[in-house]
Structure 1
Amino acid sequence: MLKMEMKALCANRLSNFSSLFRGTLCITRTRLTFPENLLGQAKLAFSSGNESFNTTVVPPTLLAAEKEEAKSVLSLFLKKQGLSKVAAAKTITKSDLFINHLVSRLHSVHKSRYLVGKELTTLEIRDTLIPYIESLLVEPGNSVVNLVENFPIIPVKDKPAASVSQHPSTPDSKKPKGQRAVSRMIEVGAVGDLQPHFLYLLELGMDLEQIKLATSRCPSFAYYCLEGRIKPLVEFLLDLGVAKSEIPKILVQRPHLCGHSISGKIIPIMLYLEDMGVDKKQWAKVILRSPCLLSHSRQKLQAVVNFLNEVGLSGDSIGKALTRFPKMVSCSVEDNLMPVNKFFYEKGFSVEEMKSMVSTFPSVYSYSLTESLVPKWEFFLTTGYSKLALVKFPQYFSYSLEQRIRPRFALVKELGVKIGLNRMLAVSFCDFEKVLEISRKNMLADELSSCPKSK
């Protein structure tokens, strides 16, 4: 029952897909042909080994793993052509020669990698084999099943095959990489089966636009192993305290996280940041504020830490700053952080005052000099407040100059009252009116008490 409801839900969502992707959802059974010259090359590869290099340099365990990857790629391709899961599985069991050919193709294309002992990643294998298999789609004419099962025997053709050079790719392969990746993510098989990735992301609460955005930002997202990459990351985030409803936001902002090893990349970065003072109890909030924090290199993190040391922060102060504003790690030290420091130093702020401001409000580094800091500073000079007011309340720079700062200063000036920056800007308008009323009453009371009493 649940499966039927899920299919109904998916069918309803799929009805709203844009026309850009409708073509990918109406898949027909395509028949393939091998060009004579390409098939001849394949036969030669198996008879003489000319296509591949000496496979003795590839460990047997790696060779077996590559064959499994090739089978996975071929299975995906067959399903895309309209075969059901069962039909695709049957074809795979009879495709040993074709699988060997695909592995040989890998060895040929990446010969230099193997010679220096570097293994290919799953994504690299797929990026090599999928376009190659698609290049065999020269023209309609023969069954995909016959092609794979009878390889390398030439299937019977309805008409002479054209050369690969005349038809280098399918229409789908001519799409931009991000668009092709989205098409693969949302494709439907002949029996209406959606990609497992797609179903899982829908279950998490992602909608089509979010999935498209994540995949366009990181085309590899469509090829990450669901069980080996995406699910483990989601479960890891849930264990850290991230709410399930927040997971889609993280995947949209930083889908690249799925490509990082949790034990080899993410956890070491977290431990390093905890050593710098990041509050381990706040990881859920920190990651929500800046998911890309976990994907930066150790060198990038160290550069920001060194900068904060120069500002005067150390120990827990650095950790608190990064906990409050983890996006600082994404800022360029030369292009973003240093110019902000230079600006305040030129305005007369001391190193100690800058240290105090950064400790209180590290987000000051997120604002544009020309569009935010400079105009707000120039207006501040007209208010009569001392520089110390900004040191105590640097959050002044986070508010809109035209929508909040200028109008509220105008009301304060009109009434002639004195209010601290935090009481003026950090409250809602209704509370601000109450502050004005109280300040006005206090000012009148002070004036009355200072007047000489009449005899």
Structure 2
Amino acid sequence: MLWFRFLKMAMKTLSGTCSSDLLSLFRGVFCIIRPRLASPGKVFFCCRISSSRRELTTPEIRDTLNPYLQSLVEEHGNFMVDFVKNFPSAPIQKKPALPVCRSHSSLYSKKPEAVSFVSAPSPAADLCPQFLYLLELGMDLEKIKLLTRRYPNFSYYSLEGKIKPLVEFLLDLGVPKSCIPTILSRRPSLCGHSLSKKIIPSMIYLEDLGVDKKQWAKVICRSPDLLCHSRQKVQAIVNFLHESGLSGDSIGNILTKFPAIVGYSLEDNLRPTAKYFKQLGVNAAIILCRSPVTFGHSIEGHLKPVTNFFLEREFSVEEVGTMVSRYTGLYTLSLTENLIPKWEFFPTMGYSRPELVKFPQYFSYSLEQRIKPRFALVKGLGMKMVLSSMLAPSQCNFEKVLIRNRKNLLADKGSSHTEDK
């Protein structure tokens, strides 16, 4: 086959070490499934036929072929594509180089050229239309540079055919213009999807699953990735939520308020985390419904350390389970910045551990802005309040409670003084 002969030729033209590396990775026979010479960044899709039957990953293909392709680029310049297309015929004579802002970069990488688009001495004058449009939307130049480094393909999307139609569609949905740069920065590949064939059908499908169509602007701002996932991926997550005991309305609510859950891995995040909480005696459906972000945390890196933090302080497994059931956001808190300092202050207030089991929301309040000031005020007035009554009310309601309790306290003291006489 053409590409197999081409690879053999490339190996012969290179040093023995390079050829050895190539032979080591490309053992067996290659089937070149789909040449994509006209699409930089997607040069080959190779399937290795070997005992492992493993399909090569894109990084493996890219990192291995790049040195060889680069050597051919150095030899044949911008006409390597013609060289390969006409192999084994002699390469076509070189022609004048194209301008920098063109439709295709060098075959082996888009990134250097894409970054060069926004690194010129006078960027405002030299930027391509795509980047000028981003500047008009409010994205600063540094973010544009970062975007092109992360996703060089963006500079090759058609402004009129891809980028503008998507932006106008988002604005029509009610997405604030100020949010557009953030959406494009987080998910630039969204511009590469067809509105009529991918994005709109995905939205209709998600609405059938319960996503509130009136909330699309907020949903997309929260997680623009949602519109890029395949139906198979979305359905797999929905099936898991059903298996966990959630109803259709609850699932729709989760997809609307926390669409990022669709990006979680079933095998690495969702199933193991559900199993872990089951061992603590906690219904995973409660956490999924109230605090689905918990399922994005690592079990070994975060969940177990939080559990051990309480166990080391003589809380039982049952008490930990009760606490997380009452306050499902408990496992989203930082050990060093939240749990530890608040726990160290807790004994100084004179409350018992059962009080904390009853009201684990204690850990959700600011230590410096709410817990310490309110406790100092209550203590200064000579009163004692239940932990939840002291922290849960708003500032206005808290002051009313203090006034009422203060009156009751004074009335009790007056009554006791009269009886003594």
With normalisation by structure 1, the TM-score equals 0.58
Aligned 8 A contact 2:117 2:126 in 1: no
**Structure 2 residue 378 is the aligned partner of structure 1 residue 433:** no
Counterpart selection for 2:294 from 364, 374, 384: 364
Cα deviation digits, residues 295-344 of structure 1 (max 9, x gap): 00000000000010111112110111122221111111011111111111
1:38-117 counterparts in 2 under 5 A? Answer: none
Work out the percentage of aligned pairs sharing the same amino acid. 44
1:180-329 counterparts in 2 under 5 A? Answer: 180-184=113-117, 194-329=127-262
Aligned 8 A contact 1:260 1:266 in 2: yes
Over the aligned positions, Cα root-mean-square deviation in angstroms equals 4.1
- Mind listing any 5+ residue stretches in structure 2 that lack a counterpart? 1-32, 44-69, 80-89, 387-404
1:401 matched to which residue of 2? 335
1:36 matched to which residue of 2? none
Displacement after TM superposition at 1:363 (Å)? 0.9
Q: Given residue 436 of structure 1, which amino acid in structure 2 is its aligned partner?
A: F
1:157-176 counterparts in 2 under 5 A? Answer: 173=106, 176=109
Cα deviation digits, residues 372-398 of structure 1 (max 9, x gap): 111111123326455322112111112
Do the aligned partners of residues 438 and 337 (structure 1) sit closer, same or farther apart at CA in structure 2, a change above 3 Å counting? farther
Cα deviation digits, residues 158-198 of structure 1 (max 9, x gap): xxxx976999x999738732222333566799x95542112
Cα deviation digits, residues 177-226 of structure 1 (max 9, x gap): 2222333566799x955421121111111222222222233322111110
Aligned 8 A contact 2:110 2:153 in 1: no
CA distance in 1, matches of 2:289, 2:204: 22
CA distance in 2, matches of 1:127, 1:278: 34
Higher RCO structure, 1 or 2 (CA under 8 Å, sep 6+): 1
Do the aligned partners of residues 428 and 227 (structure 1) sit closer, same or farther apart at CA in structure 2, a change above 3 Å counting? farther
Aligned 8 A contact 1:254 1:292 in 2: yes
Do the aligned partners of residues 214 and 438 (structure 1) sit closer, same or farther apart at CA in structure 2, a change above 3 Å counting? same
Aligned 8 A contact 2:310 2:320 in 1: no
CA distance in 2, matches of 1:216, 1:391: 43
**Structure 2 residue 361 is the aligned partner of structure 1 residue 422:** yes
Aligned 8 A contact 1:233 1:262 in 2: yes
Aligned 8 A contact 1:186 1:198 in 2: no
- Per the alignment, in what secondary structure is the counterpart of residue 197 of structure 1? helix
Displacement after TM superposition at 1:270 (Å)? 1.3
Counterpart selection for 2:39 from 113, 117, 124: 124
CA distance in 2, matches of 1:320, 1:389: 24
**Structure 2 residue 323 is the aligned partner of structure 1 residue 389:** yes
Cα deviation digits, residues 240-273 of structure 1 (max 9, x gap): 2222121111111111000101121111111221
Displacement after TM superposition at 1:439 (Å)? 6.4
- Mind listing any 5+ residue stretches in structure 1 that lack a counterpart? 1-111, 115-119, 139-161
Matched pairs, number: 305
Aligned 8 A contact 1:399 1:405 in 2: yes
CA distance in 1, matches of 2:186, 2:228: 12
Counterpart selection for 1:355 from 282, 285, 295: 285
With normalisation by structure 2, the TM-score equals 0.62
Displacement after TM superposition at 1:442 (Å)? 2.1
CA distance in 2, matches of 1:321, 1:438: 39
Do the aligned partners of residues 194 and 401 (structure 1) sit closer, same or farther apart at CA in structure 2, a change above 3 Å counting? closer
CA distance in 2, matches of 1:126, 1:408: 51
1:379 matched to which residue of 2? 309
Do the aligned partners of residues 127 and 344 (structure 1) sit closer, same or farther apart at CA in structure 2, a change above 3 Å counting? closer
Displacement after TM superposition at 1:370 (Å)? 1.7
Do the aligned partners of residues 125 and 209 (structure 1) sit closer, same or farther apart at CA in structure 2, a change above 3 Å counting? closer
